[in-house]
Amino acid sequence: DAGITQSPRHKVTETGTPVTLRCHQTENHRYMYWYRQDPGHGLRLIHYSYGVKDTDKGEVSDGYSVSRSKTEDFLLTLESATSSQTSVYFCAISGRDSEAFFGQGTRLTVV
Amino acid sequence: EVQVTQSPEALRLQEGESSSLNCSYTVSGLRGLFWYRQDPGKGPEFLFTLYSAGEEKEKERLKATLTKKESFLHITAPKPEDSATYLCAVQAGSNYQLIWGAGTKLIIKP
């Protein structure tokens, strides 16, 4: 398995609270991604990073921010969690033109 | 706009009954088409990358093919352990991001 670790694996939080999800890689890949996966939808890109401190928005970035201060770590923050952000979140890593490898996912419930 | 459509949404087969899953796309400048397998509660697992029309790749009971408008994932004599959701994604033009289909849930009955 590719060396990707997501934490936490499960989290329940209250509406309006900030939440941070962590993705850690040991593969030294340049590109890192945060996706969400919901029933009836494909994986949807939230934010991605193409290097330390280099990040950009994906198709569903509203309400989310990211940071990458080290090659190995990519953090996703829900600034003020809402029920619509209840989802399964996946981190992925890749080289530029190569396949992406995924973490095990974080199941987030906002109540 | 890039669109990726997978069909059928779900497919139930008997063990040993061969079939195919479809991934159609509307994109110019395809750079790669990717197939993944996803088991419940887990992240997607990479299967294949196809780069150009006419290309084929095989792995055990799975074979992926690519034309200019679609890709097929052929499953020959499937076993119950092949049950999973199969996802495809495309990468196109100057954008290296992946655009994903919604997946096909495959169930193989013993």
Q: Which residues of A touch B42 (CB under 8 A)?
A: 104-105
Pairwise CB contact (< 8 Å): B42 & A104: yes
The Cα–Cα gap between A4 and A49 comes to 15
Pairwise CB contact (< 8 Å): B97 & A102: no
pLDDT at position B97 is 80
pLDDT at position B15 is 97
pLDDT at position B6 is 96
Residue B20, pLDDT above cutoff 80:
yes
Tokens at residue A4, please? 């990707």
pLDDT at position A1 is 55
Which tens digits make up the pLDDT trace of A22-81?
A: 999 999 999 999 999 998 788 999 999 999 999 999 989 999 999 999 999 999 999 999
Tokens at residue B78, please? 């499937």
Nearest CA in chain B to A98: B49
Count how many pairs of residues, chain A against chain B, have C-beta atoms within 8 Å.
46
pLDDT at position B65 is 98
Give the mean pLDDT of B62-75.
Answer: 97
What region does A85 belong to: left with phi over 0, alpha with psi -120 to 50, or beta? Answer: alpha
Nearest CA in chain B to A2: B45
Pairwise CB contact (< 8 Å): A42 & B41: no
